[in-house]
Chain A
């Protein structure tokens, strides 16, 4: 199973506390009590995650629309890598397509 086939979603709406910090972003993850200091594009990616799981390609399309990205195709692998990292630290969640619903 490749990362691209997985579908990504966010946790409960109040799970993360997000605060700007002079070009960076502070995120407090309530379930773990861990504070993350992150740089772009992590906040942008998190802002596009929904409660409903969707593939990385859908997220990429949303990001491209929102931020007027030009090289959409080339950004898919880096996006998947970011999403997998976010899942590892608990800031995002993922399901396999067959497990959905």
Chain B
């Protein structure tokens, strides 16, 4: 394609092509601090941003996300949301095509060499919490996917750009002094207002350093503070639902997830603010993390 970029994020290499220059320029700026893929490295996935139809490159330009793995019914997006389209394309490739780890739809952060994994529905606050903790003494490992190692049981980082939605954008603007770490505000996308945040230099520098999981949280934002332990059966069920490749990875996924669930303490945590959550997590980490 006319405009191209190859990116290494954690263990994955993406080749991104675009019919337009702007999305590639935006990616190039935001991923500037990431290590470049080794010379001659073969991309795991290809993402293409194509015109959604004849003439749609110029006239009301509209982006279709294409690649090795595609959703046939994905709606085209406006070119001004091209950066989001590229990020969604990369997520889609991971979700549908990654087989080297058990992929859990969860955020993760690391402290003292151990990982805190946060799973939950969209809007649960797991991504914002990871971004916040990533500014407050934890290493951000990823805001979208936690990669569980089939052999060692460790969590591998996948620190792509942090996708901030709606109120989380203001929260993180107040938290991060450096405006250069933010991507453009994309208003009115199918997911609401979106802005991307470049993870801290530490998160990028250590993007190949895995950590054993010590605690699994199911956060829920917008409720009075409360915590309750979750049983192994319920956790196992939630995590199979939160994994996009559990079935495809077969028996090794079964073993890895069983080990994870029986080793890692699991807590559901309701919270109403970032400060409250940070204090609750500090207590949990001290008392429960293994």
Contact = CB atoms under 8 A, between A and B. Distances in A.
Name the prevailing secondary structure of the B interface residues.
helix
Interface hub of B240, B255, B258 (most chain A Cβ within 10 A): B258
Contact-residue size bin, chain B (C-beta under 8 Å from the other chain): 10 to 19
Nearest to B262: A21
Interface in A7-27: 17, 19, 21-24, 26
A21 B261 CA distance: 9
Contacts of B231: 22-23
Contacts of B250: 33
B232 A24 contact: yes
Interface string A57-95: 000000000000000000000000000000000000000
B233 A17 contact: no
A21 B239 CA distance: 14
A33 B262 CA distance: 21
Nearest to B232: A22
B233 A30 contact: no
Interface in B237-265: 237, 240, 246-247, 250-251, 254-255, 258, 261-262
B236 interface: yes
B247 to A, nearest CB: 6
Nearest to A21: B232
Contacts of A35: 240, 246, 254
A84 B8 CA distance: 51
Interface in A26-44: 26, 28, 30, 33, 35, 37
B233 A28 contact: no
Interface of A: 17, 19, 21-24, 26, 28, 30, 33, 35, 37
Interface of B: 231-233, 236-237, 240, 246-247, 250-251, 254-255, 258, 261-262
10 contacts: A17-B254, A19-B258, A21-B261, A21-B262, A22-B232, A23-B231, A24-B232, A26-B236, A26-B258, A33-B250
Of all A-B residue pairs in the complex, the 4 with the closest CB atoms, nearest first, are A22-B232, A24-B233, A28-B254, A21-B232
